[in-house]
Amino acid sequence: MKPLTKLALRMGVLSLAAVSLSGCSFLGINFAMNQMSEKECMMRAMYFESNRSSAEGMLAVGTVVMNRLNDARYPKSVCGVVGQKNQFASGVLTKPMTDSGAVLASQVADQVLRGSRHPGVQSAQHFHTAGMRFPYNNMYYVLEAGGNEFYEKRDPRSGRLL
């Protein structure tokens, strides 16, 4: 077999293997994210990041995703925002959703993608598990919901959003 043909065959096998690994990363490309709808990515963020029985918590997480989507510093798609490394729960785009919380997440995702927002979240683009505290003076807390505390990053001197 000619060297070019062998290379083409190997590339074809690698491509097929990568696609068959749906949900895995190959050469830095997340194939699961490419196959998911914006709704599924939103559902997964809300499902894995909030108390699965709390519509309010899910709405708050969804609002943060949309706040980031509307900021030039973040990716320009829901899946891009949710799939950003070290920003949401580990495995958010790959783990199975196994309980009735997925039904609620689907309903709330529809609401968020149609324009619903949690008013308490305001401009917050960040949250962490409720009850944790950090020594930073730029975290301005606006809401606790669904087991999370939501905050805006503000300049401590001027109060302006960062």
Q: What is the tens place of the pLDDT at every residue in 119-152? A: 999 999 999 999 998 989 999 999 999 999 999 9
Question: Residue 106's pLDDT band (boundaries 50, 70, 90)?
Answer: very high
| Cα-to-chain-centroid distance, residue 41 | 7
Residue 112 tokens read as: 């968020």
Look up the CATH architecture of domain 36-153. Orthogonal Bundle (1.10)
Is residue 14 within a helix (H) or strand (E), and if so which, with residue range? helix 3-20
Q: What is the pLDDT of residue 154?
A: 93
pLDDT in tens, 31-59: 444 589 999 999 999 999 997 879 999 99
Residue 81 · residue 69 · CB < 8 Å: yes
CA neighbor of 82 nearest in space, from 98, 61, 97, 99: 61
Q: What is the pLDDT of residue 30?
A: 44
Supply the pTM of this predicted model: 0.78
